[in-house]
Amino acid sequence: MSALSHLTVEDLSIEVRWSAHRKTVELTVERDGALTVRAPEGTAPSAVEGFVREKLFWVYTKLAEKEALRHPVPTREYVTGEGFRYLGRSHRLLLVESQDVPLKLEAGRFKLLRSEASRGREHFVAWYKVHALPWLRRRVAQWAPRIGVQPKSLEVRDLGYRWGSCGHSGGLNFHWQTILLPPGMVDYVVVHELVHLKEPNHTAEFWTQVERVLPDQAQRKAWLASNGAACAGL
């Protein structure tokens, strides 16, 4: 029964993910418009399909919103003057002939060795990962006591189209692109994942707990949905 990995409903292709830890079926529209349905192991495929069909109007509405808000991701050239984000601010790139590391942020500008420009993306990703980890650790340390949880680990990884994830073992994962967002949006992602340590699913209680910590969580969530893709391009 759990072998089903994809479901086609109308003209929609939906990835199906099964979990022994879930109690309810959940349908999400990812940042790129991909659809994912998460269901408890043992759920009949017909029940999963029925759940999706009940949500069709909501799905098409969300897809239309994402299409309207879609921002073209610029093709990066890694040339002097190009802007790259860090914590919500855009910093201009300067190609330099020599420095002690391939890439650094100095005096408000990213500086990249001209000889390494062809590997520009690789160096930016590495830089973001290194700087995201301690920054996220500090934010988690601030918010975790207010929520009453303590993650067992924290990692910065490439999570595809997810900003963060909460592992079954109690660890938190964050996309390295999270560090491109404004600090207030990073806090929203952090709080969201910390609350998942208590409430694994997006239940009414989950959102109540997020709002208890961030009273303006609905506004932050809406901002992230509208602007997150534009911030994350690299």
**d(C-alpha 196, C-alpha 154), whole Å:** 14
Q: Could you read off the pLDDT of 84-104 as tens digits, one per residue?
A: 999 999 999 999 999 999 999
Res 232: pLDDT: 74
Positions of CATH 3.30.2010.10 in the chain: 119-232
What kind of fold does domain 119-232 have according to CATH?
A: Zincin-like (3.30.2010)
**d(C-alpha 15, C-alpha 9), whole Å:** 11
Contact 186, 87 (CB under 8 A): yes
pTM of the model: 0.75
CA distances from 104 to 108, 120, 153, 185 (A): 10, 12, 27, 24
Res 56: pLDDT: 86
Q: Could you read off the pLDDT of 40-61 as tens digits, one per residue?
A: 999 999 999 999 999 887 888 7
At 174, list the tokens: 């964050």
